[in-house]
Structure 1
Amino acid sequence: MALDDNGPLLAGVTWSLCLVSGFFLGLRLYAKISRRHPLWWDDHILIFSWVLLLIESIMTQIGITIGLGKHTDQIPLINLFITAVGLSIGTTITCFASTLSKISFGVTLLRLTSGYTRTFVWFCIVSLFVVMLPSAFLPYLRCRPLMKMWNPTIEGDCWDAQTLIGYGYFNAAWCACADFALALLPWKLIWGLQLSLRDKIGVSVAMSMGLLAGVCAVVKGVYLGQLGQDDFTYNGKDVIIWTAVETATAIVGASIPVLRVFFKETISSSHSRSHRTFETAKSAPELSLSTLQSTT
């Protein structure tokens, strides 16, 4: 049986994603700061991406309080207008949030690559940003006057919504391809290093979590058709959810490689301290006996 209000679902999913991704990002920052490693551009970009995800979660929550998630015929006209404006602004914010979360990992790879491989990473970074821009801003150019975009009763002209949806499909496909390319690139980089097979696989898998973000981009693209449906405040839940999933997954995926190194070093250091403590305790009686013998 279909729910009459998708608001609780939207709130639960978006806030859960925001908190989980924030937790992983916090661990990433702690891992670097605790080892006195300075934050680099990839860290700052990822932080900004998460802040945008937080803003989007807040805006979604505000939208829910005035009707987002309900059928349009259940929402007062003024609230419907405010919700439409909020969704438009939210779309712009999420475009930047999801793209920057992917770019952050690309910036990380810039530190590990050179030559043609580095050029390819730059191509992915720049193209992701450039391809995203129309999705973020074209909706505001769709109608003249602008207010007709949110209030169909106003006289004016608008492009066919399918034009924007079609570009959205292209954007989602491009993001997915870039995610897959950047996620698979570490396998090429790591496989040539002098590491054990176990370490090669471990590092490569940890740096390939972007594959999940690519899958999310594909799923989001499947649901983009909801934007052209009537009753958008109710039917648009999947696009809102999967856009947040895409961003959160990219943030978590970009944090895992740093956390893998941190936890590995922490465990190794802990074992080393335990071994030294054991050796000290083991040698203590012998030291006491030799000292006693020397004094007699």
Structure 2
Amino acid sequence: MEDKGPLIIAACWAFTGLSLLFVAARLFVRLAVYNKLMSDDYWIILSTICAVCSNSLVILSVHWGNGQHWDTLDQEHQQEVMRWMIVAYVPGIETLGFPKLAVVCLLSRLLAPGKLHLRILWALSIGCVISLTVTVMTLLLQCSPPSAAWNFDLPRDCIKPKVIEGLAFWASSWSAFLDFYLAIYPAVVLWRLQMSMKKKIGLTIALGMGVISGCVGIVKTTGIPTFLSEDVSYELCEPLYWTSIEGNLIIIAACIPILGPLLEMFKGRPIWRTDKSSSNRQYEDYSKQSTQKQQDAIELRSKHRKKVDAYGFTIHAKDESEEAIVHPDKRSASEEWRLQSGGVGAPPQPSPPASPSTSTPPPRRDVP
């Protein structure tokens, strides 16, 4: 293929369009069903903006000859290809990091990791974003002045390509490793809980889609040595669209666990039903309950449901008791009991005392 330009545009926008559909579905669930956005939604929105901006800049680079062989371009086209290729990498690389912050926000609420593990999760994700940002800034400011990276008429004092290659390899490897970790961690936790096999598999798949983006990250990382290529416009376009594909796959993987209510809707089940007397009610806005404020739900549920927590999990213990995956700062009484005693079941909860306004008065006895 002598011109990879059409392939670049098709690959970038195909996956970006798909991720836009998932993001739109995610925002529909959060706004139409839960009536609010949460912190992870804003990270996803920021990631989507970066993906769209990067693809728009990719179109400009292709317009000037990106994807064609370097020696077939005149100096003006070579300079413009370098300019827009470098600028397109800036938001494109950031799409690899921001969605991971959204995933950590979600997992910290769903799985309630311990304080040490929670700090490790945040350290890994923030460190990944920092490493990607350092790579972006190094790429953007590799020359002094920065415009000398694409203006060949200026005197050039630039960083060696091997330095940029090393940073890119480090950041991409960290990103791919974190994709695998954030996908495997919930699978390990869920597999150890007492819940139906069907639900284990469903939740593991929903929370483990990051494995796909991790595999793409490995494929992309193997192409990073092309930073040393002399055929810049033809060789360096491959990491460009692989970066777009990986970033959009991470966005999609971060959106899938939130889309449970849409699955219920496609099955013909009402997701806005609020009749609490129905035993087959499929969805309830638990975020409005006083005991579980500021929480969202994952709706991967069976038709006949028992008592669930704020995220829609019903976990059946061996003694037919239930345990919930709850917010680390708002544990239920059964969760506190399990943490103190080390048991897997929950103690029976005492029934609340009858309200004086609704209790039946004792029968009146007439004194003769």
User: TM class, shorter-chain normalised?
Assistant: 0.7 to 0.9
Residue identity in the other structure for 1:36: Y
8 Å Cα contact 1:103/1:128 also seen in 2 = no
Change (3 A) 1:196 1:108: same
Is the 1:96–1:132 contact (alpha carbons within 8 Å) kept by the matching residues of 2? yes
Query: Aligned residue for 1:88?
Result: 86
How big is each residue's C-alpha offset from its partner over 1:52-111, in whole Å with a ceiling of 9 and x where there is no partner?
111111111122122111122332322221221111111111121221122221221122
* One-letter code aligned to 2:95: A
Matches of residues 8-87 of structure 1 in structure 2 within 5 Å?
A: 8-87=6-85
SS at structure 2 position matched to 1:45:
helix
- Residue aligning to 2:118: 118
Tell me the SS of whatever aligns to 1:64: helix
Q: Quick one: which amino acid aligns to residue 269 of structure 1?
A: R
CA-to-aligned-CA distance 1:131-166 (integer Å, 9 cap, x gap): 112111012332223333223453332221011101
The answer on 1:175 being equivalent to 2:175 is: yes
Matched position secondary structure for 1:158 = coil
| Cα distance between partner residues in 1 of 2:146 and 2:59 | 25
Cα offset, 1:192, TM superposition: 4.4
Residue 106 of structure 2 corresponds to residue 108 of structure 1: yes
**2: distance between equivalents of 1:196 and 1:228?**
52
Unaligned segments of structure 1, at least 5 residues: 277-296
Q: So what's the TM-score if we normalise by structure 1?
A: 0.85
Question: Which residue of structure 2 lines up, in the alignment, with residue 211 of structure 1?
Answer: 211
What's the secondary structure of 2:230's corresponding residue?
coil
Shift of 1:266: 5.6
Q: Secondary structure at the residue paired with 1:157?
A: coil
Distance 1:266 1:120, change over 3 A: farther
SS across alignment from 2:223? helix
Counterpart Cα distance in 2 of 1:196 and 1:102? 28
Asked if residue 137 in structure 1 is aligned to residue 137 in structure 2, the reply is: yes
User: Are residues 33 and 268 of structure 1, via their aligned partners in 2, closer, same or farther at CA, if it must alter by over 3 Å?
Assistant: same
Give the counterpart letter for 1:267 in structure 2. Answer: K
| Superposition map of 1:242-253 within 5 A | 242-253=242-253
Superposition CA RMSD, Å: 2.1
Q: Which amino acid aligns with 2:129?
A: F
Partner residue in 2 for 1:199: 199
In structure 2, what is the equivalent of residue 237 of structure 1?
237
How far the C-alpha of 1:261 sits from its partner, in A, is: 4.8
Q: Structure 2: which amino acid aligns with 1:16? A: A
In structure 2, C-alpha distance between the alignment counterparts of 1:216 and 1:247, rounded to whole Å = 10
Q: Does 2:222 match 1:222?
A: yes
Distance 2:259 2:147 in 1: 47
Taking the aligned partners of 1:123 and 1:187, their CA distance within structure 2 comes to 21
Deviation of the 1:194 alpha carbon: 4.2
Q: If each structure's helix is expressed as a fraction of its own residues, which one has the higher value?
A: 1
Counterpart position of 1:293: none
Cα 1:153/1:160, change in 2 over 3 Å: same
**SS of 1:256 mapped into structure 2:** helix
Match of 1:279 in 2: none
Change (3 A) 1:185 1:268: farther
Distance in 2 between residues matched to 1:50 and 1:141, nearest whole Å: 25
Q: Which residue of 1 aligns with 2:4?
A: 6
Q: Separation in 1 of the partners of 2:22 and 2:253?
A: 9
Tell me the CA shift for residue 37 of structure 1. Answer: 4.0
Distance 1:59 1:141 in 2: 18
Quick one: higher RCO (CA 8 Å, sep 6+), 1 or 2? Answer: 1
Q: In the TM superposition, what is the alpha-carbon distance from 1:175 to its structure 2 partner?
A: 0.9
Specify the alignment match of 1:156 in structure 2.
Answer: 156
What displacement does 1:173 show?
Answer: 1.0
What's the offset of the Cα at 1:186?
0.9
Which 4+ stretches in 1 moved above 4 angstroms?
A: none
Identity %: 23
